[in-house]
């Protein structure tokens, strides 16, 4: 099974989250290819896709949005999960957060199997005016490896069921 984990990331936090998901799937003998959404062409060679996008002001990263729009028809025929990375606090750890409206609409459009929101990360030395201003009070890492692993286990189990049905 070949799984694409693609991401839209401005400061590297979501790219790191995508690698965490890829590593967790690889530990479950699922080949995962982790690539930036802006660098991915057609998805025909993949058996499943995870699209991760950073959240900025309740908007999903542009590269993740464009990837889904560009591949919407093909994604409807694949098992797909949408992942958001963003809250700069413990809210994502305390329970399942509903997806932002934009992600919810995309999930419906491509019939995604699941949507999840993980905590984000903001470096104290973040670049850009807004990021620097936010870093004064919100710098830190709220990505929870246990939560990411639990998600990856659910994805692997779902993919196992799909493979079993094909056999």
Dihedral sign of CA atoms 38, 62, 96, 118 in order: positive
pLDDT in tens, 31-76: 999 999 999 999 999 999 999 999 988 899 999 999 999 999 999 9
Could you read off the pLDDT of 7-41 as tens digits, one per residue?
A: 999 888 999 999 999 999 999 999 999 999 999 99
Query: With 90 as the cut, is the pLDDT of residue 140 above it?
Result: no
For residue 167, what pLDDT is reported?
76
- Say if residue 82 is exposed, middle or buried (CB neighbours under 10 Å; 0-12, 13-18, 19+): buried
Nearest to 18 by CA among 89, 118, 140: 118
All domains in the chain, ordered by first residue: 2-166 (3.40.50.360)
Phi, psi for 94 (deg, rounded to 5): -80, -5
């Amino acid at each position: 099974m070949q799984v694409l984990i693609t991401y839209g990331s401005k400061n590297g936090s979501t790219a790191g989250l995508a690698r965490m998901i890829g590593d967790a799937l690889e530990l479950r003998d699922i080949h995962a290819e982790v690539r930036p959404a802006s660098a991915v062409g057609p998805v025909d060679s993949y058996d499943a896709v995870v699209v991760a996008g950073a959240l900025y002001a309740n908007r999903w990263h542009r590269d993740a949005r464009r990837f889904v729009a560009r591949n919407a028809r093909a994604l409807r025929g694949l098992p797909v999960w949408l992942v958001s990375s963003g809250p700069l606090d413990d809210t994502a750890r305390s329970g399942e957060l509903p997806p932002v409206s934009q992600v919810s609409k995309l999930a419906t459009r491509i019939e995604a199997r699941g949507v999840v929101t993980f905590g984000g990360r903001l470096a104290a030395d973040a670049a850009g005016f807004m990021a620097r201003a936010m870093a004064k009070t919100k710098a830190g890492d709220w990505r929870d490896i246990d939560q990411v692993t639990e998600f990856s286990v659910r994805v692997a189990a779902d993919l196992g069921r799909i493979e079993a049905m094909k056999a």
